[in-house]
Amino acid sequence: MVLIKSVEARSILSKSNLPVGDYSANPYVGCTHACKYCYASFMKRFTGHSEEWGAFLDVKNWPALKKVEKYAGREILIGSVTDPYLPQEEHYGRTRLLLEQLQGSGAKLSLITKSDLVERDLDLLSTFPGVTVAWSINTLQEDFRADMDCAASIERRLKAMEHFHKAGLRTVCFISPIFPGITEVEEIISRVRGICVEVWLENLNLRGHSRGVILAYIRRKYPHLVSLYREIYGRGDKTYWVDLDLSLAQWAARQGLTYVTKRTNWQGPTQEGSPTIFNYFYHELIKKCGIRN
């Protein structure tokens, strides 16, 4: 049971401090995908909600955007906190309304989602000059996916990515968060090769309520990984991420893929038709690479 209510917002666009956009937009408050690892669950304390994360959703109403031409060339990230294509979007259509209001503005849009509902808006998104659509995929195992979120299946996400890629839009596979010993990074990259232009990698950061939830889950479902998680999240040992970074760089080289990390001076894609892999284990790199349209 999800508690849904309408709320009034002074504006739908906020100036962003993120290096991946000049503005951010979240047409909803809360997220019914209810990802157990979600960093954004801390936002609950600013909303007045006492419900569990995933059990509430505020549907935003905002004044019509005026003089949208001022956003020409600006990067707008839709879904910085809440997935813009939750199942409820099919009924409320707040994300589509935002796209309609921005149409003709010349803004460069970036969207991050775990849904295939974004296919409904392919017509609108195709009218913008620079669009990036990223799908979060951190496993190919449907049972693990179902344990972690209530979003669309992995196969539905992959099919949506393929449809957008064939339509000529810029597609990204966001492998996040990478669960140590569980997320099959190389297999995912191999699966999306040919249907996206970039792969973003982000490590699992545990904090707040999600820390206890995930560590309890590991003890219950993956007891053989308990000692590894204790080293990483109990003792702060970064060896796993350093080793994974190095092994992925070596694997990418063997596959003929461009791999960008904090050690790499980014010069642009070198393999025609192959995705470039960006490692965001070291978050200072985001300021250098960001999202390019």
pLDDT tens digits, 189-202: 999 999 999 999 99
User: Which pLDDT belongs to residue 218?
Assistant: 98
Give the Cα separation of 259 and 251 in Å (integer): 9
Peptide bond into 223 cis (omega under 30): no
User: Which pLDDT belongs to residue 71?
Assistant: 95
User: Which pLDDT belongs to residue 288?
Assistant: 41
Classify burial at 286, counting beta carbons within 10 Å of its beta carbon; exposed 0-12, middle 13-18, buried 19 or more.
middle
pTM: 0.91
93: left (phi over 0), alpha (psi -120 to 50) or beta: left
Residue 285 has pLDDT above 50, yes or no: no
Query: How would residue 130 be classed by pLDDT, with cut points 50, 70 and 90?
Result: confident
The predicted model gives 197-218 an average pLDDT of 93
Query: How would residue 286 be classed by pLDDT, with cut points 50, 70 and 90?
Result: very low
Coil, strand or helix at 200: strand
The predicted model gives 40-60 an average pLDDT of 78
Residue 11's domain comprises 3-289
Residue 144 has pLDDT above 70, yes or no: yes
Residue 3 has pLDDT above 80, yes or no: yes
User: Which pLDDT belongs to residue 264?
Assistant: 58
User: Which pLDDT belongs to residue 291?
Assistant: 37
Give the Cα separation of 231 and 92 in Å (integer): 44
Residue 82 has pLDDT above 50, yes or no: yes
Residue 11 has pLDDT above 80, yes or no: yes
Query: How would residue 41 be classed by pLDDT, with cut points 50, 70 and 90?
Result: low
Give the Cα separation of 167 and 128 in Å (integer): 13
Residue 246 has pLDDT above 60, yes or no: yes
Sorted by sequence, the CB contacts under 8 Å of residue 163 that are 6+ apart come out as: 119, 122
User: Which pLDDT belongs to residue 274?
Assistant: 81
The predicted model gives 82-99 an average pLDDT of 97
User: Which pLDDT belongs to residue 153?
Assistant: 98
Number of structural domains the chain divides into: 1
| 36-40, 155-159, 242-246, 289-293, range with the lowest pLDDT | 289-293
Question: CATH number for the domain including 193?
Answer: 3.20.20
pLDDT in tens, 161-181: 999 999 999 999 999 999 999
The predicted model gives 134-157 an average pLDDT of 98
- Residue of 42 and 119 predicted with greater confidence: 119
Coil, strand or helix at 227: helix
Give the Cα separation of 107 and 128 in Å (integer): 7
Residue 268 has pLDDT above 60, yes or no: no
What token pair was written down for 110? 């970036």
The predicted model gives 211-222 an average pLDDT of 96
User: Which pLDDT belongs to residue 292?
Assistant: 34
What token pair was written down for 117? 């509902």
Which range has highest mean pLDDT (53-57, 61-65, 281-285)? 61-65
The predicted model gives 35-47 an average pLDDT of 73
